[in-house]
Amino acid sequence: MSAIAQLAPSLLRVLLVGSQEEDFFLIREILERNRVSLPANLDHARSIDEAKEMLTQSDYGLVLFQHETGDAAVNLLSEFAYSRGAAPFVILTEHADENAVAEIIQSGASDCMDRSQLNGANLVRTIRCALRLHSTQQQRQAAEQSLRKLSCAVEHSADTILVTNGEGIIEYVNPALESITGYSLAEIMGENQGILNSELQVPLLYRELWETIRVTDGARSLAVKRKKNGEVYYAEESISPIHNADGKITHRVYNGRDLTERLRIEAELVQSQKMDAIGRLAGGVAHDFNNLLTIITSYSELALDSISAGSPAQSRVQEILSAAHRAAELTRQLLAFGRKQPQALRVAELNPVVGSIVRTLNRLIAEDIELVFQPGADLGRVRLDPVQIEQILMNLAANSRDAMPQGGRCTIQTSNVQLDQEYVDRKRAIIPIGRYAVITVTDTGSGIPTEHLPHIFEPFYTTKPSGKGTGLGLATVYGIVKQNHGFVWVYSEPGLGTTFKIYLPCVPDRPAATVVAEAGDNEKFSGTETVLLVEDERSLRRAAVEFLSLRGYTVLEAQDGLEALSITRTHASPIHLTVTDVVMPQMSGGELARELERLRPETKLLFLSGYPGETVVDHKVFEADGNFLQKPFTLNQLARKVRTVLDHQPDMIANATTQSGASLRC
């Protein structure tokens, strides 16, 4: 029970410590006589040890020490002060002079009184004074302790705390604010709190904020602040006023949390979700478009075959064909961005692939631009599709060219890096650690303004005049890199040029697949074998049948897998090749392939699909990409592919598709 609570009406327990019995009887009698004004009872400890025992067992509101207990009394009390809150104590002195009294008070006693003065009025007054003094001391101690705790909380808070006076002049900032803003307390004290405003928010917003503070006595906002070094940071901030007794605002407390990192991560997430969504949309549109384009090109080619050379109709159909090719090129870019581009993957060294592409880049780059290739040593092998690497390099080189109208240098380097946890932490990126082969393309061009950087990989984002750029170049690069489980970084400063870094994950060493070139363009892609064509799209099937028949093949046609199986069962002569669409009603190309494998294991297979290679792999219909032709294709490409598949063993035709033209849009 606290001493102040014992001032009135409850019973005060007093302990007398000392060996003089007559004092005990006298004090007990006095207390009994004054029971009404000071209800109290008295216990007696004859020695310090006994007192210790009794203080341990019971709560006493006051301890009276007889003079002879001396220093031992003080020691005893301080011992109890730590464990259960010291009771006030009064020392009964014997003929003490002023110095002795001062010493006693100094030692921590609440009061002292001379034994010769021991009467009712004096004792009650002394006890009351001692209790009051002790209570005040305890309140002060509690207040100090709580102040210490609060100040410790403020000093150690990870949130920023800033206190201003009523006029907005800074009186205090905590260490968190010092470390975020770079201002020390000494530097910022006395400044107006507006020193941290970034001025990036409209003045109306500041006015509204102050109005809210005025009306509602507090406000919460997302503030854009500026550090000492000029950098901007975002803080969620609450402002609360401190009033004096008259209700006047004397101070304001600004409590803030730095949200910069969280907002950055959220923005990255939104950006990648946006890219994914656009990618899916673009990929879906491109896929459907591919089927239509295949029909257009096929019939244009057939029409060309039946039109006499040099006639006006021939040049018109050729126009249709070349427009369809350009459209096919666009869908290729969209598929690439949507990461749905069919891939002809193989494990390869990067340097020979990049080296041979760089040689062809000269035709793209103006003469006043110096093109330098610096192959790195000991590069890890990567799983790549050379056509895709070509698309990446051509798009990056075309951008560099456009950024250097007055000439300059474009450097293409390859290197080997091992990304460890420390790197990932430093970059604050979510990327798998491991070994990567890096292609770096650097130019000495105009650079990219900071505000454009977050958008350059978005499809159709271009800063070039209309007709000059479609904004699909970097979207293509981005899609391809993501499809290959790599990542791309750009470093650029206006006026200082641009560097793109493409990181491709290395694969553990194993022998590269044999690459067999497709039949050359000058060969006649004709034959006399029997080909079964399975395609549910009637127009496309008709065009392909007609074209392959013109090339000398015996063509059997089926509109779906079931019809194909029945032909396979009933056809009396050999079927050398089955060309089948992958996604069809009733039975997929994969299921058909498994049945054919059983019925006619000697029949070779060629898959056609408007879906990406990956999807085809998901359908588990082909392992090597050599027996796959991506729609849209031209009939000539079909004939070439048919010939290639017929002429080679399945494991020898891996990657044959890599020879078909790479895209370049510029």
Ligand X SMILES: Nc1ncnc2c1ncn2[C@@H]1O[C@H](COP(=O)(O)OP(=O)(O)OP(=O)(O)O)[C@@H](O)[C@H]1O
475 makes contact, choosing from Mg ion, ligand X, none, with CB < 5 to 8 Å by partner type, with ligand X
Q: Which of these ranges, 323-331, 469-477, 504-512, 650-658, lies near Mg ion under the rule CB under 5 A? A: 469-477
Single out the residue of 419, 441, 436 nearest to residue 484, CA to CA.
Answer: 436
CB contact at 8 A, 185 and 172:
yes
| CA gap 235, 160 in Å, rounded | 9
Of 408-447, which residues contact ligand X (CB under 6 A)? 443, 445-447
CB of 273 to ligand X, least distance (A): 20
* Site size toward ligand X, by CB under 6 A: 25
Residue indicated by tokens 């450097």: 411
Give yes or no for residue 472 binding ligand X (CB under 6 A). yes
* CA distance readout (Å), 3 to 53, 57, 78, 627: 20, 17, 16, 96
CB contact at 8 A, 175 and 167:
no
Is the Cβ of residue 330 or residue 515 nearer to ligand X in the bound state?
A: 330
Give yes or no for residue 473 binding ligand X (CB under 6 A). yes
110 makes contact, choosing from Mg ion, ligand X, none, with CB < 5 to 8 Å by partner type, with none
| CA gap 523, 44 in Å, rounded | 123
Give yes or no for residue 474 binding ligand X (CB under 6 A). yes
CB contact at 8 A, 17 and 63:
yes
CB of 386 to ligand X, least distance (A): 20
| CA gap 97, 647 in Å, rounded | 125
CB of 441 to ligand X, least distance (A): 8
| CA gap 436, 439 in Å, rounded | 10
Q: Which of these ranges, 161-169, 375-383, 397-405, 563-571, lies near ligand X under the rule CB under 6 A? A: 397-405
CB of 400 to ligand X, least distance (A): 5
Is the Cβ of residue 291 or residue 463 nearer to ligand X in the bound state?
A: 463
Is the Cβ of residue 172 or residue 461 nearer to Mg ion in the bound state?
A: 461
| CA gap 173, 227 in Å, rounded | 14
Q: Which of these ranges, 393-401, 431-439, 579-587, 631-639, lies near ligand X under the rule CB under 6 A? A: 393-401
Is the Cβ of residue 279 or residue 610 nearer to Mg ion in the bound state?
A: 279
DSSP string, 386-403: HHHHHHHHHHHHHHHHHH
Residue 235, SS3 per DSSP = strand
List, in sequence order, every beta strand (DSSP E) within 385-496.
408-419, 434-443, 487-493
| CA gap 504, 521 in Å, rounded | 32
CB of 419 to ligand X, least distance (A): 24
Give yes or no for residue 399 binding Mg ion (CB under 5 A). yes
Give yes or no for residue 479 binding Mg ion (CB under 5 A). no
Q: Which are the contacts of 146, defined by CB distance < 8 A and separation ≥ 6?
A: none
Backbone φ and ψ of 537, nearest 5°: -80, 110
Residue among 42, 475, 488, 548 that touches ligand X (CB under 6 A): 475
Give yes or no for residue 333 binding Mg ion (CB under 5 A). no
* CA distance readout (Å), 281 to 294, 334, 574: 20, 9, 43
Q: For the beta carbon of residue 24, count every other beta carbon within 10 angstroms.
A: 19
- Amino acid symbol at 293: L
| CA gap 479, 477 in Å, rounded | 6
Is the Cβ of residue 135 or residue 446 nearer to ligand X in the bound state?
A: 446
DSSP string, 551-610: TT-EEEEESSHHHHHHHHHH--S---EEEEESS-SSS-HHHHHHHHHHH-TT-EEEEEES
416 makes contact, choosing from ligand X, Mg ion, none, with CB < 5 to 8 Å by partner type, with none
CB of 321 to ligand X, least distance (A): 23
Give yes or no for residue 589 binding ligand X (CB under 6 A). no
Tokens of 41: 């009872």
Q: Which of these ranges, 92-100, 309-317, 399-407, 584-592, lies near Mg ion under the rule CB under 5 A? A: 399-407
* Site size toward Mg ion, by CB under 5 A: 2
Tokens of 447: 């650079």
CB contact at 8 A, 579 and 606:
yes
CB of 497 to ligand X, least distance (A): 7
Q: Which of these ranges, 209-217, 311-319, 359-367, 470-478, lies near ligand X under the rule CB under 6 A? A: 470-478
Residue among 122, 411, 462, 539 that touches ligand X (CB under 6 A): 462
CB of 464 to Mg ion, least distance (A): 8
Q: For the beta carbon of residue 72, count every other beta carbon within 10 angstroms.
A: 16
181 makes contact, choosing from ligand X, Mg ion, none, with CB < 5 to 8 Å by partner type, with none
Give yes or no for residue 558 binding ligand X (CB under 6 A). no
Is the Cβ of residue 443 or residue 625 nearer to Mg ion in the bound state?
A: 443
DSSP state of 4: G
Give yes or no for residue 181 binding ligand X (CB under 6 A). no
CB of 662 to ligand X, least distance (A): 15
| CA gap 448, 493 in Å, rounded | 6
CB contact at 8 A, 588 and 561:
yes
Give yes or no for residue 473 binding Mg ion (CB under 5 A). yes
Give yes or no for residue 470 binding ligand X (CB under 6 A). yes
- Amino acid symbol at 258: D
Residue among 307, 461, 530, 536 that touches ligand X (CB under 6 A): 461
List, in sequence order, every beta strand (DSSP E) within 143-247.
160-165, 170-173, 219-226, 232-243
Give yes or no for residue 499 binding ligand X (CB under 6 A). no
Is the Cβ of residue 131 or residue 404 nearer to ligand X in the bound state?
A: 404
CB of 395 to Mg ion, least distance (A): 5
CB of 361 to ligand X, least distance (A): 14
Residue among 195, 471, 507, 563 that touches ligand X (CB under 6 A): 471
CB of 442 to ligand X, least distance (A): 9
Residue among 35, 464, 485, 594 that touches ligand X (CB under 6 A): 464
Q: Which are the contacts of 303, defined by CB distance < 8 A and separation ≥ 6?
A: 313, 317
461 makes contact, choosing from Mg ion, ligand X, none, with CB < 5 to 8 Å by partner type, with ligand X
Give yes or no for residue 625 binding ligand X (CB under 6 A). no
Backbone φ and ψ of 339, nearest 5°: 55, 30
**Residue sitting closest to ligand X (CB):** 473
Give contact residues for Mg ion (rule: CB under 5 A): 399, 473
Site residues (CB under 6 A) for ligand X?
Answer: 395, 399-400, 403, 443, 445-448, 452, 456, 461-464, 469-475, 498, 665-666
